[in-house]
Amino acid sequence: MMNRRTLGHAALCTAAVLWLGAPLAALAAEEAPDALVKRLSADVLETVRNDKSIKAGDVNKIMALVDKTILPHVNFRRMTAAAVGPGWRQATPEQQKRLQDEFKTLLVRTYSGALSQVNDQTITVKPLRMAADDKDVLVRTEIQGRGDPIQLDYRLEKTPGDGAGWKIYNLNVLGVWLVETYRGQFAQEINAKGVDGLIESLVARNKANAAKGG
């Protein structure tokens, strides 16, 4: 039976792999933010339930799917920049790309193991409060499994131009925002060793996770 901590990890993993959702950019551009989250959440849960490799935590398969579908639904550049903090502006374009790549790998490897816990959870999207001209919204959801429900909230922004539509740039599980979780860690690394030091630290963490099979 899943306890609250385990379900919380599964909730965060489900959110992190919303990138596995249907890559329909045109549809996403027309969808309301709460409808987008509802559709993607349902798609992710259905995908995980029916794919034994993903349920087993196959990181390579998860990474391939993330690479294919991340851009339509997540502003990962903004997410990474917010996690890195002021150090992001010090980074060169090449360093920024490496930070995005390593941060994505860290998130996927950290939470991919929780995918095996996804089973009979259901997701309820709460009523959305927003004005017609809002460009930044909070979508609140609740994941119900065995045990207490888990609050899972998403921050989304409305983007113009190519790839227009609502994109996720932060998420909150059990009262903790994902970006803020890493900001303090990353700031310490940058203060001690600079941007390259943070990149090296992320590379080392990802190698260690890979060696452990996670």
pTM assigned to the model: 0.79
Residue 18 CA neighbour count, 13 Å, CB half: 27
What are the residues whose beta carbons fall under 8 Å from the beta carbon of 178, sequence distance 6 or more?
A: 12, 15, 16, 79, 83, 107, 170, 171, 172
Domain of 99 in residue numbering reads as 4-211
* Residue range 101-144, pLDDT digits in tens: 999 888 877 776 666 566 777 889 999 999 989 999 999 999 88
Mean pLDDT across the chain: 81
Say how many domains are in the chain: 1
Rg (CA), the chain: 17
Task: Place 157 in a pLDDT band, splitting at 50, 70 and 90.
Answer: very high
User: Cβ(93)–Cβ(186) under 8 Å?
Assistant: no
| CA pair distance 149, 128, nearest whole angstrom | 19
Please tell me the predicted confidence (pLDDT) of residue 19.
44
* Residue range 51-107, pLDDT digits in tens: 888 777 787 777 766 666 555 678 889 999 999 999 999 999 999 999 999 998 888
Question: Would you say residue 23 has pLDDT above 50?
Answer: no
Q: Can you give the three-state secondary structure of 94-160, one letter per residue? A: HHHHHHHHHHHHHHHHHHHHHHHHCCCCEEEECCCCCCCCCCEEEEEEEEECCCCCEEEEEEEEEEC
Provide DSSP, 8-22.
HHHHHHHHHGGGGS-
Nearest CA among 55, 61, 38 for reference residue 168: 38
User: Cβ(157)–Cβ(167) under 8 Å?
Assistant: yes
The CATH number of the domain where 75 resides is what? 3.10.450.710
Please tell me the predicted confidence (pLDDT) of residue 39.
85
